[in-house]
Amino acid sequence: MTDLLPHTLRSDALDNRERILDAARALFASEGLNVPMREIARHARVGPATLYRRFPTKQALVTEAFTEQMRACHTIVDEGLADPDPWRGFRQVIERTCELHAHNRGFTEAFMSTFPDAMDFAAEREYTLNAIAKLAHRAKDTGHLRPDFVLDDLILMLMANRGIHATSTTVRVAASRRFAALVIQAFQTSPTHAPLPPVARLATAAHA
């Protein structure tokens, strides 16, 4: 029995860590990063001491919780750069980035430098923005992306996308897809006014 004890403790510690991360991801997604650490501990069914032992700061917890999203963001821009049609690649980056951020309010806050000292986030954010800047330059050369587009427009887009409030994640994502389509038309040199994705009924919408 003594020989089994260290393994049991390691298993318990791993289980606690996963529960903390699951709780943090769920709360960050629905409420943003202002969720108190004690609330995360309560949802994870662990004591605050256990939470702080695994993640001494909220910054450390945020960085770990959003590792998967940062990798997904990295993949999105890499695939956009790899597209032989820069304008198509740029459009897909806009569409997929909006959808990725629509799934998680907290991720947008983290990406927008809420925790500037989180080096992993800072490096990934810099890579993503530099890659999009390179793609935008190529898209401008095709004549499809308006020449006055700047990276600040992308940041503005992410801030506006984060402001979408809906009754569920499904509705928020649907609204984000329509928003992305409108943004792409705004970024295009000569908008084609292609059909927009379906309208999503938002909680704050005024119904006739």
What pLDDT score does 111 carry? 82
What pLDDT score does 144 carry? 96
What pLDDT score does 45 carry? 93
Which residues, in sequence order, are CB contacts of 160 under 8 Å at separation 6+?
179
54-79: per-residue pLDDT in tens? 999 888 898 889 888 888 999 999 99
Can you list the residues of the chain whose pLDDT is less than 50? 1-9, 205-208
What pLDDT score does 120 carry? 67
CA distances (Å), origin 167, targets 45, 96, 205: 26, 21, 11
Share of the chain above pLDDT 90, in %: 51
All structural domains of the chain, each given as residue ranges with its CATH number in brackets, are 7-64 (1.10.10.60), 67-187 (1.10.357)
Per-residue b or e along 34-44, where b marks 16 or more CB atoms closer than 10 Å to that residue's CB: ebebeebbebb
Q: Of the candidates 94, 181, 190, 83, which has an alpha carbon nearest to the alpha carbon of residue 143? A: 190
What pLDDT score does 114 carry? 52
Helices (H), 103-187: 105-111, 119-141, 151-162, 169-187
Measured distance CA(116)–CA(125) in Å, rounded:
10
Facing residues of 188 across strands? 145
SS3 state of residue 124: helix
pTM for the whole thing?
0.80
Facing residues of 145 across strands? 188
